[in-house]
């Protein structure tokens, strides 16, 4: 695993104001995530997990503190600058899949490559088709999302997330809308694709010597236990992990505070 951090967070805070006044969603989060690692963010509903993920990915702006993603300070960046940084270097998987309903499975997976540019449509479709075959959907490339099951839609979403060989993959409850058996199959596939992306990618964004860095928000204990480290959020603060660990090869606390 590469020791260089791909995400560095110091004193991260997020506050919003509503009719009742100012509400603190995140308060004083410190965190480092190193290239090639996998990190699960866990906590109760409303604890600030998804807000933290959005800040790490540059989808939202912090109220205070700093976030460095892939060596770039996000604080003060305009949204178009953050989007340019994410393009091709960051992948996303969501609980609700977020597929384009008017595009086929093949077109959904090829879309990030076409948006990234520097590649012909023919090559984009060839790479998309290869990934769909890898996730077991080689016979479903022409199907639209409404014709696919939830598990199939999430497999399309995984293929789309990995098609650009991202340096970092963010996933927000990737198995939350799936039944247990399908969810476990998607977990296996996500880690398999991660290994594949690291060994075969020639893109500059990929982590050296391994797959993408994985940062996951999840309620799935089995998924959290497969990650290298767990970050527990409680009422907007990072707290020591309470997750039971069966063996040190599963979930473990980071060796020093604020670092995973």
Q: For the chain, how many residues are written?
A: 260
pLDDT of residue 205: 41
Nearest Cα to Cα of residue 30 among 4, 13, 12, 51: 12
pLDDT of residue 133: 93
Q: How does DSSP classify residue 207?
A: P
pLDDT-based confidence at residue 123 (cuts at 50, 70, 90):
very high
pLDDT of residue 198: 52
pLDDT of residue 148: 96
Asked if pLDDT for residue 28 goes beyond 50, the answer is: yes
Q: Does residue 163 contact residue 112 with C-beta atoms inside 8 Å?
A: yes
Nearest Cα to Cα of residue 155 among 127, 136, 168: 136
pLDDT of residue 188: 87
pLDDT of residue 242: 58
pLDDT of residue 42: 93
Model confidence pLDDT, tens digit, residues 90-99 = 999 988 889 9
Asked if pLDDT for residue 68 goes beyond 90, the answer is: yes
pLDDT-based confidence at residue 152 (cuts at 50, 70, 90):
very high
DSSP 94-152: ETT----TTS-HHHHHHHHHHHH-SS-HHHHHHHHHHHHHHTT-TT-TT--GGGS-HHH
Work out the average pLDDT over 193-215. Answer: 59
Q: What is the mean pLDDT of the chain?
A: 84
3-state secondary structure of 27: strand
pTM: 0.84
């Amino acid at each position: 695993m590469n020791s260089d951090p791909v995400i560095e967070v110091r004193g991260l805070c997020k506050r919003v104001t509503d009719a009742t006044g100012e509400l603190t969603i995140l308060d004083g989060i410190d965190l480092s995530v190193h290239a090639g690692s996998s990190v699960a963010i866990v906590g109760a509903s409303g604890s600030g997990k998804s807000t933290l993920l959005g800040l790490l990915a540059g989808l939202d702006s912090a109220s205070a503190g700093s976030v460095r993603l892939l060596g770039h300070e996000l604080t003060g960046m305009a949204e178009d600058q953050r989007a340019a940084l994410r393009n091709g270097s960051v992948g996303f998987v969501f609980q609700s899949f977020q597929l384009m309903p008017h595009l086929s499975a093949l077109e959904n997976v090829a879309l990030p490559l076409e948006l990234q540019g520097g590649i012909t449509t023919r090559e984009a479709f060839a790479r998309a088709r290869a990934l769909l075959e890898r996730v077991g959907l080689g016979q479903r490339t022409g199907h639209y999302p409404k014709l696919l099951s939830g598990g199939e839609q999430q497999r399309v979403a995984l293929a789309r997330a990995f098609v650009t060989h991202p340096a970092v993959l963010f996933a927000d409850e990737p198995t939350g809308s799936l039944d247990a058996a399908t969810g476990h199959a998607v977990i296996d596939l996500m880690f398999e694709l991660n290994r594949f992306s690291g060994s075969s990618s020639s893109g500059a964004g990929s982590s050296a010597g391994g797959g993408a860095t994985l940062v996951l928000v999840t309620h799935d204990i089995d998924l959290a236990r497969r990650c290298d480290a767990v970050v527990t959020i409680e009422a907007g603060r990072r707290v020591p992990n309470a997750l039971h660990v069966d063996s040190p090869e599963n979930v473990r606390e980071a060796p020093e505070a604020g670092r995973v």
